Structure 1
């Protein structure tokens, strides 16, 4: 991929079976999470003409296996630095040896090349889960998946984003009428679970500005949601604006979105 002066974003996978988001600009090519096998992430990168050898960093948002499964393998195979919080690292059992390990803290921004990364705390049943914003050359990407509630902190960090990568995990009726056991339904809809389509729509309505160009709905449940329901619910918040609305899929990479 050629050097980009602005952001390129491509969901590689999103859902309970694995999550990974590719972001690039200037000299940086970053994976946000690596929750598929190393081989499968390589395959999906190559499917959108991205070379895994050019990856410059992997950032891990939390320790659940659908976010970290391939991180250690990719780091060792291609000598990629891994960025992670100390608590998340200590909670990861499958990372293995990481030669180039960097710890960050939620609330403390850091730079990768010329990209400003701002991690912030979110409400999820993990040790130290984080959302992220990435800023470069006047452009901003906001990333918030795997969270049970939208706090004022989340809104503050995500405001003025040009691209939002946002959880729309479940349709409330499908969840409550579905086959999941009651304790799992309660976990999903709880304060440390996952955002519903309605939650995502309300957040988009609050964050919508003239600067917002794309919304990518992520982490859709294959059992308790469907792309059509998620799009229908969230599109109401866009009020027929020209904001692009996309759905990240679990089984294949999405299209590359450029700012």
Structure 2
């Protein structure tokens, strides 16, 4: 996890042969700096994958694609909705996917699935390689049956735990923004994340990373405490992705 939160999101995924950046919501320079801090470079990437068109997910996509000749994978609706933020990317560098249809980027297999979020065509993803499956769902207002189905049987989960409802309602956000966060197309609360995790946990789930925590309406302690209740008596490790620094890098299938 290079970054996670409302100021920018980016996930580095690699199996040692293929390297993909899922979202690039920081500036190109900041993503390059964070990769360098882990001994990596954008030149090591094979592609950028885009979940949806909000600025905290695509801010650095265009500049990285142009500077390092990186193909960008996204849905057609996301490409249209995000065109002004992306800038000019040559048609040959844009690769379209459809939710529900698996595609491969070299040795990694991705399956996008639809999320309930206030974007044109928001997607979560599963990634498979050598029998290992990771699931990623970080911007969603509700966990639908389809989301639960896709996130089953993962070895690693990256899951949204955006807010504490009491902090949100008593906090400084204007009412319309509080409603947006709580809406079915908004963001999962700690409690909702816990309920989802309780349904899909299994003995081979080794690690859950909580993502997209609000700096205003949540705390690391609250998120870990509430969501952790779903993992009582389990060996699954629980951690939190941060906005201000890189987290661990996981090698898929390694």
Residue 39 of structure 2 is matched in structure 1 by 49
Q: Does 1:152 align with 2:142?
A: no
Does the alignment pair 1:95 with 2:123?
Answer: no
Corresponding residue pairs, total: 249
2:116 aligned partner: 123
Deviations along 1:79-104, one digit per CA (max 9) or x if unpaired, are: 11100000000001111122311000
Can you list the C-alpha shifts for 1:130-186, whole angstroms capped at 9, x where unaligned? 000000100001000110000000001110010000000000110011011111111
The answer to whether the 8 A contact 2:137-2:160 is kept is yes
Runs of 4+, deviation exceeding 6 Å:
none
Q: 2:127 is paired with a residue of what secondary structure?
A: strand
Partner of 1:203: 196
2:67 is equivalent to residue 77 of structure 1: yes
In the alignment, is residue 169 of structure 1 matched against residue 159 of structure 2?
Answer: no
Which of 29, 35, 52 is 2:19 aligned to? Answer: 29
Task: For structure 1, list consecutive stretches of 5 or more residues without a partner in the other structure.
Answer: 1-10
What is the alpha-carbon distance in structure 2 between the residues aligned to residue 131 and residue 119 of structure 1? Answer: 6
Aligned-pair CA distance for 1:245:
0.7
Separation (CA, whole Å) in 2 of partners of 1:145 and 1:251: 17
Report the equivalent of 1:5: none
Structure 2 counterpart SS, 1:230: helix
Q: Does 1:185 align with 2:178?
A: yes
- Per-residue deviation at 1:26? 3.8
Task: Provide the secondary structure at the position in 2 that maps to 1:18.
Answer: coil
1:107, distance to aligned residue in structure 2 (A)? 1.1
1:219 equivalent in alignment to 2:209:
no
Contact 2:14–2:250 (CA under 8 A) maintained in structure 1: no
RMSD: 0.9
Contact persistence 2:103–2:110 (CA under 8 A) = yes
TM-score between the two structures when normalised by the length of structure 2: 0.96
Say which SS state the counterpart of residue 23 (structure 1) adopts. strand
Instruction: Identify the structure with the greater strand proportion.
Output: 1
1:75 aligned counterpart, secondary structure: helix
Alpha-carbon distance between aligned partners in 2 of 1:50 and 1:248, rounded to the nearest angstrom: 19
Q: How many angstroms apart in 1 are the aligned matches of 2:39 and 2:87? A: 28
- The structural deviation recorded for 1:257 is 3.2
- Any unmatched runs of 5+ in structure 2? none
Which of residues 86, 105, 108 in structure 2 aligns to 1:112? Answer: 105
Structure 2 counterpart of 1:38: 28
